[in-house]
Structure 1
């Protein structure tokens, strides 16, 4: 597992191998999302700060696993015939405001 760090803050992590993690985090689409996403009303990425990609810590791996376990619990009510998605998973380690908005809209 690898973690993306921006300005000293662990922002996201993936269960991909190092090469795939770099490909994901360095992709133009992911960078565009990071520039658009906010946390506490501030951009997750300012568009210029360098990315550091490093091996995840044990604590980060635990957070990652817990996050995926929560997703699995939420999906238990879904059709059992749904296939698992192939590929790497990405989990944000910061609260992304836009994700909170999505969940708030679902509750209405």
Structure 2
């Protein structure tokens, strides 16, 4: 229970920091701060996704169900499956399903 509150507090701190950026009154300072965050965000996002995926892979190796992992992470079971497979985003990383027309050669 205490650890869950600590997790919630860490997430709240990150979200508060984002809200603080939005609420800055000095527009130039705000724009500079946002530029810095956006510049660093892709690398940070990849690191966070890798950490989360490693957790999912460990839990799956322990034969924990998708539903249980989903409940632990606060996401859907489908999202856990996507994380396990290394998929992210809007579907652009997922392999395309082949149709009969795609199998034909010109």
Q: TM-score w.r.t. structure 1 length? A: 0.25
- Pick the structure with more helix per residue: 2
Flag the structure with larger Rg.
Answer: 2
- Pick the structure with more strand per residue: 1
Q: TM-score w.r.t. structure 2 length? A: 0.26
**Higher RCO, Cα 8 Å, sep 6+:** 1
